[in-house]
Structure 1
Amino acid sequence: MDKQRSPWPALWALVIGFFMILVDTTIVSVANPKIMVGLKTDINSVIWVTSAYLLAYAVPLLVTGRLGDRFGPKNMYLIGLVLFTGASLWCGLSGTIEMLITARVVQGLGAALMTPQTMAVITRTFPPNKRGGAMALWGATSGVAMLVGPLLGGVLVDGLGWEWIFFINVPVGVVAFILAMILVPKLPTHQHSFDILGVVLSAVGLFLVVFGIQEGETYDWGTITGPITVWGMIIAGIVVLAAFVVWQAVNKGEPLMPLKLFRDRNFSLASFAISTVGFTVSSMSLPLIFFAQLVLGFTPTQSALLMVPMALVVLPLSPVVGRLVDRMHPRYLAFFGLFVMVIGLLWYSAWLDPNVDLWPRLLLPSVVLGVANAFIWAPLSVTATHNLPTSQAGAGAGIYNTVRQIGSVLGSAAIAALLQARLTANGLHASANGAQFGGGKLPAVVAQPFTDAMAQTMLLPAAAALIGAVVVLFFVRPRDTGQWSATQGTPVVNQAPEPVES
């Protein structure tokens, strides 16, 4: 293979699979009622269809990023793609809720293997001063996938049945595998030792925390079984994660999560900021979709159409932002995007009203959120990876994607808890009205208090985005070389892309 070959074809090949796995984080939400009917199950069981995927996706990300460094990002990506595609077929063929949940776990593991490799390939094949455009494509993929997932799910469920939200992945996965085999280069591997204890501690700690947060409402934040409580699991998870961090600090070999990466101020801040973005994006759609379906009487497809303006704005703007990232400080671009996201969410909160024609009101803030998304993903990704050595590209990508996914899980859990609290505060009982969810338009007598609860709930993702906007203001200034050092404050020589093996 020509060592000077453009890295762009490889990136486009990876983006296909990356888009597919991100869509599957949101596509199931509009299909839950149909799955309940088709598999003759209850609401608590069907929630696990999403929870199992999120857990299996989030927990292994630190490990899979390191596996990419050790065995090659191409190999790990292809293995993950095979798992994900095969599990998608299994999901669509499932005849029981237990089988579907099991298949979703395997699907999540495949997604966890794939995700860090896409970012690691960018870091290892694009020089730092050329990564803006590449990260813009990666960021646009992230933003658009999270926004169009519900829309695609609504169309498939209404037209073909819930099984097709999984069957659609099979031909896409086959095409993505062929393209990746042909276009993605084999990059040199790094013969690291493998931190087995770090793997166990990180996996157990993340599982306990994420499970506790995801399932807190299911168990009313109380007892799960016997002496095991929700808060007990979360506290135990935090303790295990603290032990993991201590082990990473004292490990004399090569730790799973090199803490020295966090000496880079920009990496640390960008990782925290992307967690607020994950929190915001995963939480903002729930009250909006509930309002559209239960107050306005929209179908799943109609309610998902509210997301279309976001996607339509993100696509043309992202390449423009990518070029800007290579020319100016990402701090200003990321702050603009996050601040505009706050404005869009506050706009939604102020304009939700069951008594007027809401289409213009619902679509205009969606356009604003599209602008926000276009200015967020690439600047944060470039900032996080700018100073990473190639030997730590997989580990850095794993950390970055882990905190993003954990932010998404926290957002999903927090918005559900706040939504129920605001319903109660507005004179409605979430448990009593639960049977009406998905059952058509709410009676006029409860439409206004329900709308008020949804509008108030929208303030939570706005607050998370505001925190992210403040954090990015502390990014370090870029230097004239196009790359900057967060720890020494001195210019760093631009890092050349890695050679590839034929």
Structure 2
Amino acid sequence: MEYKNKYGILLVVISMTFMSCLVSNIVNVALPVMSRKLSVPMVSIEWVVASYIISICSTILVFGRLGDVIGKMKVFKFGMVVFTIASFTCGISTSFTELIIFRIIQGIGASAYMANNQGIITQVFPRNERGKALGILASSVALGTLIGSPAGGFITYYLSWNYIFFVNVPIGVIAFIAALKVLPHSKTQNKEINSELDVKGSTFIFLSMVLLFGSLIQGQKVGYNNPIIITIFIVSILFVVVFIVLENKIEKPLIQMKIFKNNVFSLSLFCAFISFVCLNASIIIIPFYLQDAMKLNSSITGLIMMIQPLVMAVISPFSGNLSDKIGSKLLSFLGLLLMSISFIFLSFLNQYSSITKIIIYIVVLGLGQSLFQPSNNSLIMSTVPKNELGIAGSVNSLVRNLGQIIGIILSTSLLYSFMSIKIGYRITDYVTGRDDIFVYGMKYVYIVLTIVCAFGALLTAFRMHNKKSIQTNQSPADIHGKNF
């Protein structure tokens, strides 16, 4: 089927992708300001980020499947409406509790369109134009990430934290009006259109994600030895087990579990998870270090936070081309190795470090991620057959979001633990006048991240020598042509 307004459709899709990346990075930079204005400690303010990501992780597989059942366009438009309205309500929130509730709703909206954006592009664009369209989508991700950090810094410095959510509203309204005109009605020829959604699987994956991450985050406040926290954690793991058992038994599951039998796919996915955990663990700490320990304002912090995605935007296309020539496995190994080195450098920072050093270390981190991400994604998508590409893309997206939330939990849990050791009693917030306490905790967080990332590098080295691994020295055109 030929779509006359395919580039109009693409513009609508990338506008929402741009917004989701924009709001994520704006919020990260604004966290210290929001912590002060809403009078909540660091251990609580992370829920502004965590609630959004948990909401996405809990529902993204459901919305992906729902897109196959009732139509991707319908689910996508639903997500647009929910995300835009929730952005407005986040902005007018007057309390921390209100903000968290509306962030959860905002995450549901984001999940609905994130689960279907690549599917819409695949459906609308013919094979010979699909790679180009997906490339434009990737550019919108980089653009949102680049603009988000400095925008968040300037908005919180010159206006108020509320306005970081208001910026989404006009974009969302314009995009939805355009969507009503250009997005076609969902008419799928899929024979599964009348099949039932996997309600049991959807319920168990939703509950498992909410309980798992809720217990991990709340455990930072009350302690992980708390009986209630332990009980909730065990229940969440049981729900995961039940979900896996159900998915293996039913005919049309949310996710085909057999895809994980592919060793190269599973190993590449695990390495991706490690990289996202380490990257987001670092990102959540840096704004507090720059604003509270280094005494920089939110505007300058935003500019510094912009460096890492800028490096990725510039280097990633070149590393992608290079991986076609020398192999993806080598570049993914070098990328994780560089990330490990950057974490070692960052562990030596203190409240007296020069901004030049900070920038250099962040550049090294961005360079490592730029080498790793494109090549590892190529490995993930090139190791699965044509009929499993949709599953692979959904799982890859889920792993990215899981890495974000685990990174947040890991970094803050370690930070508070080491800070408590240093000061001699349990703390869950920045200690005013004791910058050395925060720097001490941050140092050991980066040491742990170095070890975790180095472990990932060792796994990629093992993958390089695995003779069973498939050859991935193919051009992107070849990969798309075979898989689609």
Q: Same fold (TM over 0.5)?
A: yes
Q: Which residue of 1 aligns with 2:190?
A: 190
- Greater mean alpha carbon deviation, residues 113-122 or residues 276-285: 113-122
The alpha carbon displacement at 1:300 in A equals 2.1
Q: Is the 8 A contact 2:319 2:371 kept in 1?
A: yes
How big is the alpha-carbon RMSD for the aligned residues of Structure 1 and Structure 2?
3.5
Q: Which residue of 2 aligns with 1:217?
A: 220
The alpha carbon displacement at 1:137 in A equals 5.4
Q: Which residue of 2 aligns with 1:312?
A: 310
Q: Which residue of 2 aligns with 1:174?
A: 173
Q: 1:421 aligns with which of 407, 410, 417?
A: 417
1:404 is aligned to 2:407 = no
**1:208 corresponds to which letter in structure 2?**
L
The alpha carbon displacement at 1:195 in A equals 1.6
| Cα deviation digits, residues 45-85 of structure 1 (max 9, x gap) | 64433332122121112212222333333332222122111
- Give, in whole Å, the separation in 2 of the partners of 1:426 and 1:41: 23
- Give, in whole Å, the separation in 1 of the partners of 2:77 and 2:42: 35
TM-score relative to the length of structure 1: 0.82
- Give, in whole Å, the separation in 1 of the partners of 2:394 and 2:479: 24
- Give, in whole Å, the separation in 1 of the partners of 2:131 and 2:479: 17
Q: 1:122 to 1:343 in 2, by over 3 A?
A: farther
Q: 1:479 to 1:29 in 2, by over 3 A?
A: closer
The alpha carbon displacement at 1:364 in A equals 0.8
Q: Which residue of 2 aligns with 1:206?
A: 209
- Give, in whole Å, the separation in 1 of the partners of 2:318 and 2:12: 21
**Aligned-partner SS, 2:306:** helix
- Give, in whole Å, the separation in 2 of the partners of 1:215 and 1:106: 20
Q: Which residue of 1 aligns with 2:471?
A: 478
- Give, in whole Å, the separation in 1 of the partners of 2:479 and 2:167: 45
The alpha carbon displacement at 1:238 in A equals 0.9
Q: Is the 8 A contact 2:28 2:287 kept in 1?
A: no
Q: 1:110 to 1:22 in 2, by over 3 A?
A: same
Q: 1:432 to 1:345 in 2, by over 3 A?
A: closer
The alpha carbon displacement at 1:119 in A equals 3.6
Q: Is the 8 A contact 2:307 2:362 kept in 1?
A: yes
- Give, in whole Å, the separation in 2 of the partners of 1:413 and 1:493: 36
Q: 2:358 aligns with which of 355, 362, 384?
A: 362
**2:260 corresponds to which letter in structure 1?**
F
The alpha carbon displacement at 1:28 in A equals 2.4
Q: 1:84 to 1:159 in 2, by over 3 A?
A: same
Q: Is the 8 A contact 1:354 1:451 kept in 2?
A: yes
Q: 1:178 to 1:330 in 2, by over 3 A?
A: farther
Q: 2:288 aligns with which of 287, 290, 294?
A: 290
The alpha carbon displacement at 1:301 in A equals 2.3
The number of aligned residues is 475
**2:54 corresponds to which letter in structure 1?**
L
**Aligned-partner SS, 2:222:** coil
**Aligned-partner SS, 1:221:** coil
The alpha carbon displacement at 1:467 in A equals 3.2
Q: Is the 8 A contact 1:198 1:248 kept in 2?
A: yes
**Aligned-partner SS, 1:98:** helix
Q: Is the 8 A contact 2:328 2:472 kept in 1?
A: no
**Aligned-partner SS, 2:339:** helix
Q: 1:118 to 1:155 in 2, by over 3 A?
A: same
Q: 1:66 to 1:159 in 2, by over 3 A?
A: same
Q: Is the 8 A contact 2:418 2:444 kept in 1?
A: yes
Q: 1:310 to 1:40 in 2, by over 3 A?
A: closer
**Aligned-partner SS, 1:24:** helix
**1:413 corresponds to which letter in structure 2?**
I
The alpha carbon displacement at 1:420 in A equals 1.6
1:265 is aligned to 2:268 = no
| Cα deviation digits, residues 390-445 of structure 1 (max 9, x gap) | 66544333222222211211111111111122223334656286452xxxxx4xxx
- Give, in whole Å, the separation in 1 of the partners of 2:269 and 2:107: 22
The alpha carbon displacement at 1:388 in A equals 4.9
Instruction: Give the gaps of 5 or more residues in structure 2.
Output: none
Q: 1:338 aligns with which of 322, 336, 339?
A: 336
TM-score relative to the length of structure 2: 0.85
Q: Is the 8 A contact 1:132 1:382 kept in 2?
A: no
As a proportion of its length, which structure holds more helix?
Answer: 2
**1:201 corresponds to which letter in structure 2?**
F
Q: Is the 8 A contact 1:267 1:384 kept in 2?
A: yes
- Give, in whole Å, the separation in 1 of the partners of 2:334 and 2:15: 28
1:455 is aligned to 2:438 = no
Sequence identity (%)? 25
